[in-house]
């Protein structure tokens, strides 16, 4: 996965600053608006994700692989690498490492159009319906959480989403 090394270092430099101070610094450095927004939103996302990971660690909660995926997948590579460099907690580093080594390339084999071709009608997703039912019964259905990988890829079953 490609990433911009300078941005990781820049996140480190602006880490102690408040958001308004980061905006002012970006303006003084004449970063274009796209890069400025990227820096500000990336820093905000890193802080929010690290707070989530910290809450798991501090409460001795062992997250499922699907929960790790849910927190980290939408973040850019630069943000995840900055988080890895910033944290001093081994458990947080382990979660990020699990994402990079085991979860980042996980994609469903079937897409919505495949399900429609199989005769499943569009509407409320089957995964949402099954997950709601599972949540009501305090059961989590996710192939991410199995200690092994079944022959089918994650997401191949309608109820096996992240």
Predicted confidence (pLDDT) at residue 99 exceeds the cutoff of 80: yes
Predicted confidence (pLDDT) at residue 154 exceeds the cutoff of 50: no
8-36 burial code (b ≥16 CB/10 A, e <16): bebbeebeeeeeeebbebbeeeebeeeeb
pTM over 0.75: no
- Comparing 13 with 140, the larger pLDDT belongs to 13
Cα–Cα nearest to 119, from 108, 110, 128, 131: 110
Least confident of 94-98, 111-115, 136-140: 136-140
- Comparing 1 with 16, the larger pLDDT belongs to 16
Q: What is the CA radius of gyration of the chain?
A: 19
- Comparing 43 with 66, the larger pLDDT belongs to 43
In Å, what is the CA distance from 114 to each residue of 92, 105, 106? Answer: 36, 20, 18
Mean pLDDT of the chain: 82
pLDDT bin (cut points 50, 70, 90) of residue 1 is confident
Average pLDDT over residues 111-125: 76
């Amino acid at each position: 996965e490609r990433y911009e090394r300078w941005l990781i270092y820049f996140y480190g430099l602006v880490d102690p600053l408040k958001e308004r101070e980061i905006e002012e610094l970006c303006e003084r450095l004449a970063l274009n608006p796209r890069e400025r927004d990227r820096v500000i939103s990336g820093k905000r996302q890193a802080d929010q994700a690290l707070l989530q990971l910290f809450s798991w660690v501090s409460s001795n909660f062992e997250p499922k692989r699907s929960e790790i995926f849910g927190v980290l997948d939408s973040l850019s590579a630069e943000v995840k690498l900055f988080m890895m460099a910033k944290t001093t907690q081994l458990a947080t580093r382990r979660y990020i490492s699990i994402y990079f080594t085991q979860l980042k390339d996980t994609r469903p084999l079937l897409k919505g159009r495949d399900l429609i071709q199989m005769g499943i009608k569009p509407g409320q997703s089957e995964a949402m319906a099954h997950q709601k039912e599972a949540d009501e019964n305090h059961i989590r259905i996710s192939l991410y959480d199995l200690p092994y990988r079944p022959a089918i890829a994650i997401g191949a079953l309608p109820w096996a989403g992240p």
